[in-house]
Each structure stands twice: as C-alpha cells, then as structure tokens.
Chains A and B, each alone.
Chain A
Amino acid sequence: MTLEAAATVKQPTLADYAAVVGEQAIRQLERLAEPFRGKKFVHVNSTRVGGGVAEILDKMVPLMRELGIDATWEVITGTPDFFQCTKSFHNALQGDPVDIPERLLREYEEVNRRNAAELKDKLADADFVLIHDPQPAPLLKFIGNRKGTWIWRCHIDASRPQRQVWRYVRQWVEAYDASIFSLAAFTQALPHPQYVIPVSIDPLGEKNRALSPEEVASVYPRFGLDPERPLILQVSRYDRFKDPVGVIKAYRMARRYVPGLQLVLVGGGATDDPEGEAVLAEVREAASDDPDVHVLVLPPDSHVTINALQRAADVVLQKSTKEGFGLTVSEAMWKRKPVIGGNVGGIRLQVIDYETGFLVNSPEGAALRIRWLLENPERRAKMGERAREHVRENFLLTRHLREYLTAFLGVHYGNKPRIELG
C-alpha cells in the first residue's frame, strides 16, 4: 500500500493549528476576525481540486468559518476553450510570448457572464469577495450592484507579463478595490492598492504533516535508497528553469568529497508537456547509468511520498535559475532541512543566506554548499531549526489568513496607514 493510500484525511481545526503556530497566532486571528463575524465572505476560483490555490482554500475556508465568518468557496465552471484561454493567460503573464485568438477571449467573457448570472445573488450580497487569479476576474463587472469589498488575488508571477495580454486582463482587474500579489516584484501598475502577501504552506496538510519514522523509512526500499548514506533531494517539475541538470552537475562535483552521496530528483509526469518530456530526457541522459542518481516521476497526488522523501533527505536543493515563489523551499525548511536555493525570485525571501540555507548562483556554488552542510551535521541541524522557525513565522497558512483579513480591513477602513479596531 502506498503512503497516499494509507493516509486518512481530517480537517484540522484552530486548536490543531494552535499546537503548531502557538496560541498567540490563533488569538490574533480571532481578534482580527471579529469585524468579519457573521459577514458573508466569498472566495471564487476555477477549480475545487488540484493546484496550490485549491489546496489553500480547502483549509482556509473551514478555518474562517470556525472564526465565525460566513465564508464560502465558489468555483466557476468553464468550457475547454475557456480553460485553454486562461492557460494562455497564465503563460503570458509569466512572460511567454502567446497569441490568444479573439474567439477564445470571447469565450472567456461569455463563460464569466454565465457564471456571474449563476452566482449573482451570492456575490452581489457578499460583504467581502476574494477572486483568485484571472479565470473569474471579469465577474466583478458582470455582477453590478455589488455591496461588498472586492479584492483580486493574483497567484501568478506577473513580473514580466506579455504586455498585450496584461492590458486585456487589466481591464477586468482595475475596477477591484485592491489586488494582492505574492511578491512586490510581481505587482503591476493598477489604480488601486496592491498588497504584497506571500503564499503559504499548510503545516497540517498531507505534504507537510508530521510522519512516523516508519512512514519516512518506507521510501528507502521503495526507491532503492540506502539509509546509511547521505541523501540530497530536489522536488520540482522537469523544467529548465528548475535546473535539474545543474543539480546533477553539483552532485557529481560534491560526490568527489562525499563518497556514497545519493541524489533524488522528483518531478511530476510530463506527458501533457512536450518541453517537460524533453527536459526529463535530458535529465535521464545527464544521470546516465549512475545508480545513485534517482530520477523519479510521481503522480500529482504523491503528497505523502514527497513529504517522506523531504524528511529522509539530509539536504534539499531548489537550484532554480528563475522562480515565482518556490513553495517547495518552505516545505523542506518546515521539515528542518536547510535549503540550497538558486538566488532568484521568492527563494530569496525564504532562504536567508547562511541562516536557513544558502543562496547559490552556479552548480559549483551548490556543490560547495552540499559539501559544507554534509561535513557539518551540527551546524546543519542548527540551520534546519532556524529554517523551521522562519517558516513558522512567515510562510504558514495562519499568517496568510491573518494578512488577508488585515488587507480587507485596510480596504474597508479606507486605506489608512494605521487602523485602530475598537
């Protein structure tokens, strides 16, 4: 039986989170939630399962309800053309040159018009609405007569969007009361406040919950790993910007000094992504026939397996050369692993150089830090502890929710720099 099949799903409560983040953090949430008590707060996105947004909402909405907020989560429905269009938005906002046919744009608008008609009563009547990503962005314009505060949440790295596509998306977004981006570098010129709220991990979800020693140990025989020898790991899809070949180069250089070193690269299936398939082939070729380089392709729901691999590893890498936020970094740090990360994007926010890991700019830099961390187990452990605390204070779901509530209060009270609740 796989770890995923054995896992039981239980919705965590505020008390469960208090045990992880501390009573203070929960008291803060309770106090901040008071102005929202009994108010209608609606999240809208385009999928109930799969992807980071759904994962967060799946946990956040019940917490909001436990805080006394009348929180609901609505999911818009779309057509294949609609999703093709929004997938193109996603790529274009991340900077890929994409040409979106007019037909798809009209479908995007039509789908939103239909969803607006269906959700009209709920959304027009809501006190607070948080619209996630471009898929449902036009709902605001199609609802009309809204009474609440509406904020648009962009989860995408929009630091260098394709301008034509951004201009199109912007027309739907600019009427919102505010928007939220994950990093300051992702913000764009908009006629309303742009909050900067990093994303988060769920410490009690399958990806990050505590595992028994047996669960962790189960990955050794399953993937042919030797528990007695050092293990380094990178978890990310097979994408050139994640530099998996660079990780193999770093492993080779480090192995001269760390005999017996093992490397695991974990990524998802690449069948629907021609480029991903090509990168996976390059990675396999680079790994050659080295029995200590394990190139794994796991199904997308392998959360507990990845959790166990992260816990089994001595050092985790995220050697990206371009990165949006890179939450796998926080996932590893939460498991007390110092992370060797590429000196880019959101990795810089998570990895504090020399404190919670190392920022590197080359395979050579990664190799040097691998050697250092494996040579210094006590300092590695200390770094791992700092890494976990850094995540506890900055990148957990409760902080994410606290900042959402703070941002909505900020907009509700007129965007003053300081708001005193009565």
Chain B
Amino acid sequence: MHPTDAAKALETPAPLRVKDCSLVTIATGRHAQNLRELREHLAAVDPMCVYSHFWLSRLQARSAELEFANDFAAWAHGALHDPVLAERLSMLDPSDFDDLEELRQAVLELVEQRLDEREMVPWAKPGQRFDFLQAQLVVFDTGETVDRPEQLAESVRWWSAGSLFYHLIDARRRRPDRLDDVRAWLSAWGLGESALARELGALDWQLLTMAELREKVAALCAAHLGGERE
C-alpha cells in the first residue's frame, strides 16, 4: 500500500455497523394498585425495571402514550386520573440523569410530593394496576454497514424499529459520552459540531414514534448530507 493511501486509510473512520435488537418483557411479579404501592415497589425494584419503563416503551408503538413520555406518567393519567402527577412525571428526561438510581430517586420524589399534596391516596380501578416489567434485549448485527455519511439517509430509511432504538435511543444511556451512535459516528467524520449533529441531538425522541423518528432522521440526513428522500 502506498504510504499516502495507508495514512488515508488510517484516517477513514470505520463503517457504522447497523445493529438491531429484539425485546421481550418479563413480569417482575410486583404491581401497584395505588400511588403508595407504586412508591413502595419503585423503591425496591431492580434499576433495569426503571430503565424499561422509561426507555423501552418507545420501542413498542403505543402512540397514544407518547403524550406522557414514560409508563409511570401514562399510568398516572390513564389509571389514577391524576393529570398533575402525569404532567410532572412526563417532564422527566431520563437522559438528564447520570444513572438509573438518580432517575429512580427523581420519580420517587415526584410521587412522594404528590402523596403529600393529596388528601387521599389515588387508586386505580381493578384491572388497571401498574405491573412492573423488566425487559430483556437481544442485540444482533444486521450485517449492514454505512460506509460514508452521505449513505446515512438511505440506510436509516430501512432501519427497523429495533435498529432505531438501539442506535438513537439506547445509545444515549449505553455510551459514556451520552451521544447516540449516529452522532458519535458523525463525530469521527469531523461532523460532530455540524448543524446535522445539532439537529439530530435536538430531536425529542421521547415524543416520537419509531416511524416518526425514522422519517425525521432520514430527512435531516438527506437535507444535510444528500441522499434521496422518498
């Protein structure tokens, strides 16, 4: 290999290997019929259970619940009929917390504050209990790669919900730099501070279905880097 080519090869970032994931949920056996029980169980569950109720519901296309951003908020709204608590819980952004314990504490504080404010403990009707679930994620390589940024838009358009979740949502908790995999890969291409990276970072993933997220990411990539739009 020519020395210049070798140097160039060294400089070329590795392709983005597109991964995918499949999720199943596991019942923990814990469930709450009222807000006090929610607090008790929330304090005791495995941290991955907190992760599941904040992150993984995004992978399941429950668009009506997007208004409430996480399962706790959706339950406060739909089962406890407590809009104040639902609104407060909805504004918790799990990306703001260093670890799951911090996130758990934040939820607990909101729940306890609400218990202090209410004269009676709000109850859910029978059949509307909150079931604490834990997810199991199987991650696998799709065999697809994105070699250059201008290929990104076309690739993303074909990503499954699992790929979108893994690279754009799960990565924010998985990676120490809290970037998603796409922005991290763009950084390797010197595009970490680009308008595209900024706009990708500003996408409000908590309020988007996977289909909407796919469309928005593909559109942004196409607009900034080229690639045909549908």
A interface residue numbers (CB < 8 A to B): 23-25, 27-28, 31-32, 181, 184-185, 187, 189, 193-197, 344-345, 352-355, 386, 389-390, 393-394, 402-403, 405-407, 409-410, 415-421
18 further A-B pairs in the complex, CB-CB below 8 A; given A185-B131, A189-B29, A421-B139? A27-B142, A27-B160, A31-B142, A32-B22, A32-B138, A184-B25, A193-B26, A352-B64, A393-B161, A394-B60, A406-B24, A409-B138, A415-B136, A417-B136, A418-B137, A419-B137, A420-B139, A421-B141
A187 in complex: contacting residue of B27, B64, B134, CB < 8 Å = B27
B22 in complex: contacting residue of A195, A353, A402, CB < 8 Å = A402
Determine the chain B residues whose CB is within 8 A of the CB of A194 once the complex forms: 26-27, 29
A187-B27, A197-B24, A406-B22 known; A386 vs B139 contact (CB < 8 Å):
no
> In the bound complex, do residue B133 and residue A184 qualify as a contact, i.e. CB atoms below 8 Å apart?
yes
Determine the chain B residues whose CB is within 8 A of the CB of A28 once the complex forms: 20, 22, 160, 162
Determine the chain B residues whose CB is within 8 A of the CB of A394 once the complex forms: 60-61
Name A31's closest neighbour in chain B (CB-CB).
Answer: B140
A341 to B161, CA, bound (A): 28
Determine the chain A residues whose CB is within 8 A of the CB of B159 once the complex forms: 24
A196-B26, A344-B127 known; A406 vs B138 contact (CB < 8 Å):
yes
A409 to B48, CA, bound (A): 19
Question: Is B158 positioned at the interface, with any CB of A under 8 Å from its CB?
Answer: yes
A328 to B141, CA, bound (A): 36
> In the bound complex, do residue B138 and residue A417 qualify as a contact, i.e. CB atoms below 8 Å apart?
no
> In the bound complex, do residue A410 and residue B127 qualify as a contact, i.e. CB atoms below 8 Å apart?
no
Determine the chain B residues whose CB is within 8 A of the CB of A344 once the complex forms: 127
Question: Is B118 positioned at the interface, with any CB of A under 8 Å from its CB?
Answer: no
Chain B residues bordering chain A, tally (CB within 8 A) = 36
A24-B159, A24-B160, A184-B25 known; A417 vs B48 contact (CB < 8 Å):
yes
Determine the chain B residues whose CB is within 8 A of the CB of A352 once the complex forms: 62-65
- How many whole Å from B164's CB to the nearest CB in chain A? 10
Chain B contacts with A in 126-148, Cβ cutoff 8 A: 127, 129, 131, 133-143
Determine the chain A residues whose CB is within 8 A of the CB of B138 once the complex forms: 32, 406, 409-410, 419, 421
A339 to B141, CA, bound (A): 38
Over the window 41-70 of chain B, the binary record of Cβ atoms lying under 8 Å from chain A Cβ atoms (1 yes, 0 no) is 000000010000000000011111100000
A352 to B65, CA, bound (A): 9
A132 to B159, CA, bound (A): 34
Over the window 108-134 of chain B, the binary record of Cβ atoms lying under 8 Å from chain A Cβ atoms (1 yes, 0 no) is 000000000000000000010101011
A32 to B19, CA, bound (A): 12
A354-B64, A419-B138 known; A403 vs B22 contact (CB < 8 Å):
yes
Question: Is B14 positioned at the interface, with any CB of A under 8 Å from its CB?
Answer: no
Determine the chain B residues whose CB is within 8 A of the CB of A345 once the complex forms: 127
A417-B134, A421-B139 known; A390 vs B160 contact (CB < 8 Å):
no
B160 in complex: contacting residue of A25, A197, A406, A420, CB < 8 Å = A25
- How many whole Å from A384's CB to the nearest CB in chain B? 15
- How many whole Å from A114's CB to the nearest CB in chain B? 34
Question: Is B23 positioned at the interface, with any CB of A under 8 Å from its CB?
Answer: yes
A421 to B162, CA, bound (A): 14
Over the window 149-175 of chain B, the binary record of Cβ atoms lying under 8 Å from chain A Cβ atoms (1 yes, 0 no) is 000000000111110000000000000
> In the bound complex, do residue B24 and residue A31 qualify as a contact, i.e. CB atoms below 8 Å apart?
no
A211 to B48, CA, bound (A): 45
- How many whole Å from B221's CB to the nearest CB in chain A? 18
A300 to B29, CA, bound (A): 37
Determine the chain B residues whose CB is within 8 A of the CB of A193 once the complex forms: 26
A45 to B148, CA, bound (A): 51
> In the bound complex, do residue A419 and residue B136 qualify as a contact, i.e. CB atoms below 8 Å apart?
yes
- How many whole Å from A351's CB to the nearest CB in chain B? 10
Name A390's closest neighbour in chain B (CB-CB).
Answer: B61
- How many whole Å from A251's CB to the nearest CB in chain B? 26
Determine the chain A residues whose CB is within 8 A of the CB of B143 once the complex forms: 31
Name B174's closest neighbour in chain A (CB-CB).
Answer: A418
- How many whole Å from A325's CB to the nearest CB in chain B? 13
Q: Which 4 A-B pairs have the closest CB atoms?
A: A184-B131, A352-B64, A24-B160, A187-B27
- How many whole Å from B59's CB to the nearest CB in chain A? 10
> In the bound complex, do residue A418 and residue B142 qualify as a contact, i.e. CB atoms below 8 Å apart?
no
Most buried by A among B48, B60, B138, B161: B138
Name A196's closest neighbour in chain B (CB-CB).
Answer: B25
Name A355's closest neighbour in chain B (CB-CB).
Answer: B64
- How many whole Å from A330's CB to the nearest CB in chain B? 14
Determine the chain A residues whose CB is within 8 A of the CB of B131 once the complex forms: 184-185, 187
Over the window 15-47 of chain B, the binary record of Cβ atoms lying under 8 Å from chain A Cβ atoms (1 yes, 0 no) is 000001011111101010000000000000000
